[in-house]
Homo-oligomer: A and B are copies of this chain.
Amino acid sequence: MFENTERTELSALGEFGLISHLSKHFTSKNESTVLGIGDDAAIVKLGNEMMAISTDSYIEGVHFDLMFHPLKHLGYKAVAATVSDICAMNAIPTQILVAIGLSNRFSLEAVEELYEGMRLACEKYNIDLIGGDTSSSRSGLVLNLTAMGRVEESKLTLRKGAQVNDLLVVTGDLGGAYMGLQILEREKKVFIEHPKMQPDLETYDYIVGRQLKAEARVDVIQLLDDLKIIPTSMMDVSDGVASELFHLGQASGVGFDIYEEKLPIDPQTIDAALEFDLNPSIMALNGGEDYELLFTIKQEDFDKIKNNPDFTVIGHATDMVNIYRLNTKAGNSFEIKAQGWEHFSSDNK
Protein backbone atom coordinates (compact mmCIF):
# COMPACT_ATOMS: atom_id res chain seq x y z
CA MET A 1 0.00 0.00 0.00
CA PHE A 2 3.00 2.31 0.04
CA GLU A 3 3.64 1.88 -3.64
CA ASN A 4 2.55 5.39 -4.52
CA THR A 5 4.19 6.76 -7.62
CA GLU A 6 5.06 9.85 -5.59
CA ARG A 7 7.18 9.34 -2.54
CA THR A 8 8.43 12.28 -0.52
CA GLU A 9 10.61 11.35 2.44
CA LEU A 10 9.48 12.80 5.77
CA SER A 11 13.00 14.06 6.39
CA ALA A 12 12.47 16.54 3.54
CA LEU A 13 10.15 18.54 5.83
CA GLY A 14 11.50 18.00 9.34
CA GLU A 15 9.22 17.89 12.37
CA PHE A 16 8.00 21.49 12.37
CA GLY A 17 7.46 21.55 8.64
CA LEU A 18 5.56 18.29 8.81
CA ILE A 19 3.13 19.47 11.51
CA SER A 20 2.35 22.69 9.68
CA HIS A 21 2.05 20.89 6.34
CA LEU A 22 -0.32 18.26 7.70
CA SER A 23 -2.51 20.67 9.65
CA LYS A 24 -2.91 23.33 6.97
CA HIS A 25 -6.08 21.77 5.53
CA PHE A 26 -7.83 21.79 8.89
CA THR A 27 -10.00 24.81 9.64
CA SER A 28 -11.32 25.82 13.05
CA LYS A 29 -15.08 25.69 13.49
CA ASN A 30 -15.60 26.17 17.22
CA GLU A 31 -15.73 29.53 18.93
CA SER A 32 -13.99 28.03 21.95
CA THR A 33 -10.85 27.36 19.88
CA VAL A 34 -8.74 30.44 20.57
CA LEU A 35 -5.40 29.12 19.34
CA GLY A 36 -4.60 25.95 17.41
CA ILE A 37 -1.36 24.41 16.19
CA GLY A 38 1.77 26.56 16.04
CA ASP A 39 2.60 27.61 19.60
CA ASP A 40 3.82 25.62 22.63
CA ALA A 41 0.22 24.77 23.53
CA ALA A 42 -3.27 25.28 22.15
CA ILE A 43 -5.72 27.60 23.88
CA VAL A 44 -9.37 26.78 24.48
CA LYS A 45 -11.74 29.29 26.04
CA LEU A 46 -14.53 28.22 28.35
CA GLY A 47 -16.68 31.00 29.73
CA ASN A 48 -14.23 33.64 30.88
CA GLU A 49 -11.36 31.26 31.41
CA MET A 50 -8.62 30.06 29.13
CA MET A 51 -7.11 26.64 29.14
CA ALA A 52 -3.73 25.77 27.63
CA ILE A 53 -3.38 22.19 26.40
CA SER A 54 -0.48 20.34 24.82
CA THR A 55 0.38 16.76 23.89
CA ASP A 56 3.80 15.08 23.63
CA SER A 57 5.02 11.58 22.86
CA TYR A 58 8.11 9.89 24.29
CA ILE A 59 9.16 6.81 22.38
CA GLU A 60 11.80 4.32 23.50
CA GLY A 61 14.86 4.37 21.27
CA VAL A 62 13.93 7.82 19.93
CA HIS A 63 13.49 10.07 22.96
CA PHE A 64 15.11 7.96 25.63
CA ASP A 65 17.38 4.97 26.21
CA LEU A 66 16.32 2.75 29.09
CA MET A 67 19.93 1.73 29.52
CA PHE A 68 20.58 5.04 31.22
CA HIS A 69 17.17 6.57 31.82
CA PRO A 70 15.85 4.86 34.96
CA LEU A 71 12.07 4.42 34.72
CA LYS A 72 11.33 6.61 37.72
CA HIS A 73 13.38 9.46 36.26
CA LEU A 74 11.80 8.92 32.88
CA GLY A 75 8.31 9.26 34.36
CA TYR A 76 9.31 12.44 36.14
CA LYS A 77 10.95 13.90 33.05
CA ALA A 78 8.02 13.11 30.77
CA VAL A 79 5.68 15.02 33.07
CA ALA A 80 8.14 17.91 33.39
CA ALA A 81 8.67 18.20 29.65
CA THR A 82 4.94 18.19 28.90
CA VAL A 83 4.12 20.63 31.68
CA SER A 84 6.88 22.89 30.39
CA ASP A 85 4.79 23.57 27.26
CA ILE A 86 1.95 24.79 29.47
CA CYS A 87 4.33 27.10 31.37
CA ALA A 88 5.47 28.49 28.02
CA MET A 89 1.99 30.02 27.60
CA ASN A 90 2.36 31.73 31.02
CA ALA A 91 -0.24 29.26 32.31
CA ILE A 92 -0.31 27.34 35.59
CA PRO A 93 -0.44 23.60 34.87
CA THR A 94 -3.36 21.80 36.53
CA GLN A 95 -4.03 18.38 34.96
CA ILE A 96 -2.33 15.66 32.96
CA LEU A 97 -3.48 12.59 31.01
CA VAL A 98 -1.15 9.66 30.36
CA ALA A 99 -1.41 7.03 27.63
CA ILE A 100 1.13 4.25 27.73
CA GLY A 101 2.04 1.42 25.38
CA LEU A 102 3.99 -1.46 26.92
CA SER A 103 5.63 -4.55 25.53
CA ASN A 104 5.57 -7.69 27.63
CA ARG A 105 9.20 -7.30 28.65
CA PHE A 106 7.91 -4.80 31.26
CA SER A 107 6.80 -6.20 34.58
CA LEU A 108 4.23 -4.55 36.80
CA GLU A 109 7.06 -3.54 39.15
CA ALA A 110 8.84 -1.75 36.29
CA VAL A 111 5.67 0.15 35.34
CA GLU A 112 5.12 1.06 38.98
CA GLU A 113 8.56 2.69 38.99
CA LEU A 114 7.59 4.75 35.95
CA TYR A 115 4.34 5.87 37.58
CA GLU A 116 6.10 6.65 40.84
CA GLY A 117 8.25 9.13 38.90
CA MET A 118 5.14 10.65 37.34
CA ARG A 119 3.48 10.84 40.74
CA LEU A 120 6.46 12.69 42.23
CA ALA A 121 6.33 15.22 39.38
CA CYS A 122 2.57 15.65 39.85
CA GLU A 123 3.18 16.35 43.55
CA LYS A 124 5.97 18.78 42.77
CA TYR A 125 3.96 20.73 40.21
CA ASN A 126 0.63 20.39 41.99
CA ILE A 127 -1.11 18.74 39.04
CA ASP A 128 -3.70 15.99 38.86
CA LEU A 129 -3.50 12.83 36.78
CA ILE A 130 -7.01 12.66 35.34
CA GLY A 131 -6.81 10.32 32.36
CA GLY A 132 -5.20 7.03 31.52
CA ASP A 133 -4.97 4.64 28.63
CA THR A 134 -2.79 1.54 28.58
CA SER A 135 -2.21 -0.82 25.69
CA SER A 136 0.26 -3.33 24.38
CA SER A 137 3.13 -2.22 22.20
CA ARG A 138 5.14 -4.48 19.93
CA SER A 139 8.37 -2.69 20.59
CA GLY A 140 9.15 -1.18 23.89
CA LEU A 141 7.74 1.74 25.78
CA VAL A 142 5.60 4.43 24.20
CA LEU A 143 4.42 7.27 26.41
CA ASN A 144 2.02 10.03 25.49
CA LEU A 145 1.22 12.82 27.88
CA THR A 146 -1.33 15.60 27.51
CA ALA A 147 -1.07 18.49 29.95
CA MET A 148 -3.57 21.24 30.69
CA GLY A 149 -3.32 24.50 32.56
CA ARG A 150 -5.19 27.69 33.30
CA VAL A 151 -4.29 31.21 32.30
CA GLU A 152 -6.08 34.51 32.62
CA GLU A 153 -6.72 36.02 29.23
CA SER A 154 -4.70 39.13 30.10
CA LYS A 155 -1.65 37.04 31.01
CA LEU A 156 -1.66 34.66 28.06
CA THR A 157 1.77 34.79 26.40
CA LEU A 158 2.37 33.54 22.87
CA ARG A 159 5.47 33.17 20.71
CA LYS A 160 4.12 36.17 18.86
CA GLY A 161 4.36 39.53 20.58
CA ALA A 162 8.04 40.45 20.91
CA GLN A 163 8.64 44.10 19.98
CA VAL A 164 11.86 45.68 18.74
CA ASN A 165 14.17 46.51 21.68
CA ASP A 166 12.42 44.09 24.05
CA LEU A 167 14.94 42.27 26.23
CA LEU A 168 15.50 38.56 25.64
CA VAL A 169 15.62 36.65 28.92
CA VAL A 170 16.39 33.03 29.68
CA THR A 171 15.94 31.21 32.98
CA GLY A 172 18.48 28.89 34.61
CA ASP A 173 21.44 27.73 32.56
CA LEU A 174 21.84 26.25 29.11
CA GLY A 175 23.39 23.24 27.43
CA GLY A 176 23.57 21.11 30.58
CA ALA A 177 21.03 18.49 29.55
CA TYR A 178 22.75 17.97 26.21
CA MET A 179 26.23 17.61 27.70
CA GLY A 180 24.76 15.29 30.35
CA LEU A 181 23.51 13.09 27.54
CA GLN A 182 26.99 13.02 25.97
CA ILE A 183 28.42 11.84 29.29
CA LEU A 184 25.76 9.14 29.63
CA GLU A 185 26.31 7.91 26.10
CA ARG A 186 30.06 7.75 26.62
CA GLU A 187 29.66 5.78 29.84
CA LYS A 188 27.20 3.45 28.10
CA LYS A 189 29.82 2.67 25.45
CA VAL A 190 32.43 2.05 28.13
CA PHE A 191 29.98 -0.21 29.97
CA ILE A 192 29.18 -2.23 26.85
CA GLU A 193 32.88 -2.78 26.18
CA HIS A 194 33.92 -3.27 29.81
CA PRO A 195 30.87 -4.38 31.81
CA LYS A 196 32.82 -4.51 35.07
CA MET A 197 33.90 -0.85 35.00
CA GLN A 198 31.83 1.49 37.13
CA PRO A 199 30.51 4.50 35.22
CA ASP A 200 32.12 7.82 36.14
CA LEU A 201 29.14 10.11 36.60
CA GLU A 202 29.99 11.91 39.84
CA THR A 203 32.22 14.54 38.26
CA TYR A 204 29.26 15.57 36.15
CA ASP A 205 26.41 14.97 38.59
CA TYR A 206 24.71 18.30 37.87
CA ILE A 207 24.53 17.96 34.09
CA VAL A 208 23.67 14.26 34.25
CA GLY A 209 20.82 15.32 36.54
CA ARG A 210 19.80 17.98 34.00
CA GLN A 211 19.41 15.19 31.44
CA LEU A 212 17.81 12.56 33.66
CA LYS A 213 15.62 14.69 35.88
CA ALA A 214 14.47 17.73 33.99
CA GLU A 215 12.33 20.30 35.77
CA ALA A 216 9.54 22.44 34.34
CA ARG A 217 9.77 26.06 35.43
CA VAL A 218 6.35 26.29 37.06
CA ASP A 219 8.15 28.32 39.74
CA VAL A 220 9.08 30.93 37.14
CA ILE A 221 5.45 31.36 36.07
CA GLN A 222 4.53 32.01 39.71
CA LEU A 223 7.49 34.38 40.07
CA LEU A 224 6.61 36.37 36.95
CA ASP A 225 3.12 36.76 38.36
CA ASP A 226 4.51 37.92 41.71
CA LEU A 227 6.80 40.40 39.94
CA LYS A 228 3.84 41.61 37.83
CA ILE A 229 5.67 40.85 34.61
CA ILE A 230 3.76 39.64 31.58
CA PRO A 231 6.35 38.61 28.97
CA THR A 232 5.70 39.97 25.47
CA SER A 233 6.54 36.55 23.98
CA MET A 234 7.67 33.23 25.40
CA MET A 235 8.47 29.61 24.68
CA ASP A 236 10.28 26.81 26.45
CA VAL A 237 13.76 25.62 25.56
CA SER A 238 13.20 22.04 24.47
CA ASP A 239 15.10 22.05 21.17
CA GLY A 240 17.84 24.56 22.00
CA VAL A 241 17.90 28.35 22.25
CA ALA A 242 19.05 28.80 18.63
CA SER A 243 16.01 26.93 17.34
CA GLU A 244 13.62 28.68 19.77
CA LEU A 245 14.99 32.11 18.75
CA PHE A 246 13.85 31.40 15.22
CA HIS A 247 10.37 30.52 16.40
CA LEU A 248 10.03 33.67 18.53
CA GLY A 249 11.49 35.83 15.77
CA GLN A 250 9.33 34.38 13.00
CA ALA A 251 6.14 34.55 15.05
CA SER A 252 6.83 38.10 16.24
CA GLY A 253 8.34 39.51 13.04
CA VAL A 254 11.59 40.60 14.66
CA GLY A 255 15.23 39.58 14.71
CA PHE A 256 17.44 39.02 17.76
CA ASP A 257 20.94 40.05 18.75
CA ILE A 258 22.40 37.89 21.49
CA TYR A 259 25.71 38.07 23.35
CA GLU A 260 27.94 35.08 23.88
CA GLU A 261 29.34 36.46 27.16
CA LYS A 262 25.82 36.62 28.59
CA LEU A 263 24.91 32.97 27.94
CA PRO A 264 24.35 31.28 31.34
CA ILE A 265 26.41 28.10 31.32
CA ASP A 266 27.17 25.93 34.32
CA PRO A 267 30.89 25.19 34.97
CA GLN A 268 30.20 21.44 34.56
CA THR A 269 28.71 22.08 31.13
CA ILE A 270 31.85 24.01 30.17
CA ASP A 271 34.18 21.31 31.52
CA ALA A 272 32.30 18.53 29.75
CA ALA A 273 32.19 20.45 26.47
CA LEU A 274 35.93 21.08 26.62
CA GLU A 275 36.57 17.43 27.44
CA PHE A 276 34.63 16.46 24.30
CA ASP A 277 36.47 19.17 22.33
CA LEU A 278 33.24 21.12 21.83
CA ASN A 279 32.59 24.85 22.11
CA PRO A 280 30.53 25.44 25.30
CA SER A 281 28.68 28.41 23.79
CA ILE A 282 27.60 26.35 20.80
CA MET A 283 26.38 23.66 23.20
CA ALA A 284 24.46 26.29 25.17
CA LEU A 285 22.83 27.56 21.98
CA ASN A 286 22.04 24.22 20.38
CA GLY A 287 21.65 21.76 23.22
CA GLY A 288 18.06 20.63 23.72
CA GLU A 289 16.00 19.46 26.69
CA ASP A 290 16.94 22.18 29.17
CA TYR A 291 13.23 23.04 29.62
CA GLU A 292 14.12 26.55 30.68
CA LEU A 293 11.91 29.45 29.58
CA LEU A 294 13.01 31.92 26.91
CA PHE A 295 10.98 35.12 26.83
CA THR A 296 11.00 38.78 25.98
CA ILE A 297 10.09 41.63 28.31
CA LYS A 298 9.67 45.35 27.88
CA GLN A 299 12.77 47.32 28.85
CA GLU A 300 10.92 49.00 31.71
CA ASP A 301 10.51 45.58 33.37
CA PHE A 302 14.28 45.11 33.58
CA ASP A 303 14.53 46.48 37.13
CA LYS A 304 12.11 43.82 38.34
CA ILE A 305 14.38 40.97 37.25
CA LYS A 306 17.91 42.33 37.37
CA ASN A 307 18.76 41.02 40.83
CA ASN A 308 17.34 37.55 40.32
CA PRO A 309 20.11 35.05 39.52
CA ASP A 310 17.56 32.79 37.81
CA PHE A 311 16.97 35.33 35.03
CA THR A 312 19.64 36.26 32.50
CA VAL A 313 19.22 38.88 29.80
CA ILE A 314 21.06 37.39 26.82
CA GLY A 315 20.12 39.89 24.12
CA HIS A 316 17.32 41.95 22.60
CA ALA A 317 14.88 42.03 19.72
CA THR A 318 15.87 44.00 16.62
CA ASP A 319 14.07 45.29 13.54
CA MET A 320 16.19 43.03 11.32
CA VAL A 321 13.40 40.56 10.72
CA ASN A 322 14.51 36.92 10.84
CA ILE A 323 18.17 37.81 11.42
CA TYR A 324 19.61 36.18 14.53
CA ARG A 325 23.10 37.39 15.44
CA LEU A 326 25.53 36.06 17.98
CA ASN A 327 28.01 38.67 19.15
CA THR A 328 31.05 36.75 20.37
CA LYS A 329 33.36 37.44 23.25
CA ALA A 330 36.07 38.11 20.67
CA GLY A 331 34.01 40.98 19.25
CA ASN A 332 32.81 39.21 16.09
CA SER A 333 29.25 38.86 14.95
CA PHE A 334 27.85 35.66 13.38
CA GLU A 335 24.46 34.89 11.98
CA ILE A 336 22.91 31.94 13.80
CA LYS A 337 21.42 29.16 11.69
CA ALA A 338 18.75 26.92 13.18
CA GLN A 339 20.26 23.73 14.52
CA GLY A 340 17.47 22.48 16.72
CA TRP A 341 16.52 18.89 17.21
CA GLU A 342 14.26 18.20 14.31
CA HIS A 343 13.23 14.60 14.21
CA PHE A 344 13.29 12.79 10.87
CA SER A 345 16.53 14.55 10.00
CA SER A 346 19.62 12.59 9.09
CA ASP A 347 21.23 13.23 12.46
CA ASN A 348 18.22 12.22 14.44
CA LYS A 349 18.51 12.52 18.18
Contact = CB atoms under 8 A, between A and B. Distances in A.
Contacts of A272: none
A46 B53 CA distance: 13
Interface string A41-83: 1101011110101111101111100110011000000000000
A55 B42 CA distance: 16
A142 interface: yes
Contact of A139 (B15, B56, B63, B138): B138
B59 A107 contact: no
Contacts of A48: 47
Interface string A19-46: 1011101101110110111000110101
Nearest to A106: B10
Interface of A: 1-2, 4, 6-13, 15, 18-19, 21-23, 25-26, 28-30, 32-33, 35-37, 41-42, 44, 46-49, 51, 53-57, 59-63, 66-67, 70-71, 94-95, 97-102, 104-112, 115-116, 119, 122, 126-140, 142, 144, 146, 148, 150, 343-344, 348
Copies of the polypeptide in the assembly: 2
Given A25-B115, A128-B28, A136-B348, A8 B99 contact: no
A232 to B, nearest CB: 23
Contacts of A146: 53, 55, 97, 146
Nearest to A31: B94
A311 to B, nearest CB: 28
A142 B141 CA distance: 11
Given A22-B115, A108-B10, A32 B150 contact: yes
A215 B41 CA distance: 28
Nearest to A92: B30
Contacts of A348: 136
A144 B99 contact: yes
10 contacts: A8-B109, A10-B108, A36-B128, A42-B95, A42-B131, A47-B48, A59-B136, A59-B142, A134-B344, A136-B348
Contacts of A11: 104
A2 B107 contact: yes
A129 B62 contact: no
B7 A130 contact: no
Nearest to A93: B30
A53 B33 CA distance: 15
Given A8-B107, A49-B47, A95 B138 contact: no
A71 to B, nearest CB: 8
A97 B128 contact: no
Nearest to A94: B30
A104 B9 contact: yes
A23 B135 contact: no
Contacts of A62: 101, 135-138
A35 to B, nearest CB: 7
Contact of A30 (B18, B49, B107, B126): B126
